[in-house]
Amino acid sequence: TPCRATPSIPSRSRPARLPANVLEEARTRLHVSSVPESLPCREQEFQDIYSFVESKIVDGTGGCMYISGVPGTGKTATVHEVMRCLQHAADVDEIPPFHFIEINGMKMTDPHQAYVQVLQKLTGQKSTADHAAALLEKRFSNPAPRKETTVLLVDELDLLWTRKQNVMYNLFDWPTRRHARLVVLTIANTMDLPERIMINRVASRLGLTRMSFQPYSFKQLQQIIMSRLNKVKAFEEDALQLVSRKVAALSGDARRCLDICRRATEICEHSSADSHSTGLVGMSHVMEALNEMFSSAYITAIKCASVQEQLFLRAVIAEFRRLGLEEATFQQVFVQHQALCRVEGLQPASVSEGLAVCQRLGACRLLLLEPSRLGVLQRVRLNVSQDDVLYALKAD
């Protein structure tokens, strides 16, 4: 294998087309990947992290910080922005120069790979995990002249959990060494992660410098979209408000918000071709996008099911009512199924056919089934609420 290969995706033969109209321009800006230079609505968090890291760099000491928050609340983006600003400050000699490296728990195959990646990003050396751990240990515990501060960002911290927790222990122990000059910023989703999964000596080394990112409120989401669009006039005011209110009510995830807006621009583009529209994304488009992304397909799936499948679902509900339980064997349901067939004037299905119908419903998870080799003895449960099934079967 070539040891110093430069991996790359081949480049395209002709450059990508640029956005041609307002909607396409808006779509490009609304893509999650186009992170703006300054993140709106996270000024306080930015300030806190900035001053924490800056003080550590100026003092030449080390420390840890734990950042938590649900996905899509701007944790990683904020930290990256802080680092950009600090780098700029270091470039103009306001603060001493430092080294920024980043690892992500999800982007490794094994927690011990963290050592390998840190070492490679620090020195460019390739080695095994054990050797890398030893080298890093040496580097952080011995004094060296003119050592720069290292800022290490550890994303998805919970993935670095091992049974002995030695990876986490080392990551949090190095900053406490006198000569390490290491600042570790850790990011994870849950607020109580240190108390929940870490043993005492690891949690105590992580310390109490914590910060949690709250989910975005609807006003913040609205502001985020506005700042992304940056005077490109593609949305009606009300439409934006609807999106942000809906998303804020459900999760407060900015990614979701942007995705819905992007989908709405597509729907608008399709509908503008044939009807009289203003060219702006309106309420109706946003409603459609919201329905597409938030509605569950169970009810439509039941409505589209074949006659026997619908009968089987009805038989399941009838049997549940008879038993007063939420679980029945296929044999019990099948008796009801045959009775229903006779009521409907259909030819009663054979057991094999009934099993096939049952399996089909199980494959798309309308039913939850035991393994099919149990045959007629397998137990059947509904994966949807009974009301949903009844509603879907009734509403014709």
Partner 1 sequence: MSKRKSKDAHLPVGECITQLQEILRKRLCHQQLPDRPEGVEAQHKHLLELLKRTAVHGESNSVLIVGPRGAGKTMLLKCVLRDLLEETEAQTNLLQVHLNGLLQTNDRIALQEITRQLHLENVVGDKVFGSFAENLAFLLEALKKGDRSSSRPVLFVLDEFDLFAHHKNQTLLYNLLDVSQSAQAPIAVVGTTCRLDVLELLEKRVKSRFSHRQIHLLNNPTFTQYLERVQTQLSLSDDFPDNKFSRDWNASIETLCEDKSVAEVLQRHFNSSKDFRSMHMLLMLCLSRVSAAKPAIRPADLLEASKMCFADAKANMLHGLSILELCLIIAMKHLNDVYEGEPFNLQMVHNEFKKFLQRKSNSMYNFEQPVIMKAFEHLQQLEMIRPVDSSVVKTQREYRLMRLMLDHSQVMEALQKYPQCPTDVKQWAMSAFG
CA proximity to 55, closest of 147, 141, 149, 166? 149
Nearest distance from C-beta of residue 352 to partner 1, angstroms = 5
Q: Which amino acid is at 327?
A: E
Please say whether the beta carbons of 225 and 41 come within 8 A.
no
Q: Which is nearer to partner 1, 208 or 364 (CB)?
A: 364
CA proximity to 72, closest of 212, 256, 264, 229? 256
Q: Residue 203 and residue 321: Cα distance in Å, rounded?
A: 51
Which residues in the 176-205 window bind partner 1 by CB under 8 A? 189
| Near partner 1 by CB under 8 A: residue from 36, 71, 143, 279 | 71
Q: Which amino acid is at 156?
A: E
Per-residue binding string, partner 1, 214-253, x by CB under 8 A, is: ---------------------------------------x
The count of residues interacting with partner 1 (CB under 8 A) is: 85
**278 touches partner 1 (CB under 8 A):** no
Which residues in the 95-114 window bind partner 1 by CB under 8 A? 106-110, 113
The CA-based angle 224-225-226, given to 5 degrees, is 90
| Near partner 1 by CB under 8 A: residue from 42, 56, 139, 256 | 256
**287 touches partner 1 (CB under 8 A):** no
Nearest distance from C-beta of residue 71 to partner 1, angstroms = 3
Which residues in the 299-358 window bind partner 1 by CB under 8 A? 300-301, 303-309, 331, 334, 338, 346-347, 349-353, 356-357
**366 touches partner 1 (CB under 8 A):** yes
Which residues in the 112-171 window bind partner 1 by CB under 8 A? 113, 116-117, 156, 159
- Residue 64, beta-bridge partner list: 184
Could you please report the per-residue DSSP string of 133-202? HHHHHHHHHS--TTPPEEEEEEESGGGG--SS-HHHHHHHHGGGSTTT-EEEEEEES-TTHHHHH--HHH
Nearest distance from C-beta of residue 218 to partner 1, angstroms = 18
Per-residue binding string, partner 1, 10-39, x by CB under 8 A, is: xxxxxxxx-x----x--xx--xxxxx----
Tokens standing for residue 20: 């041609």
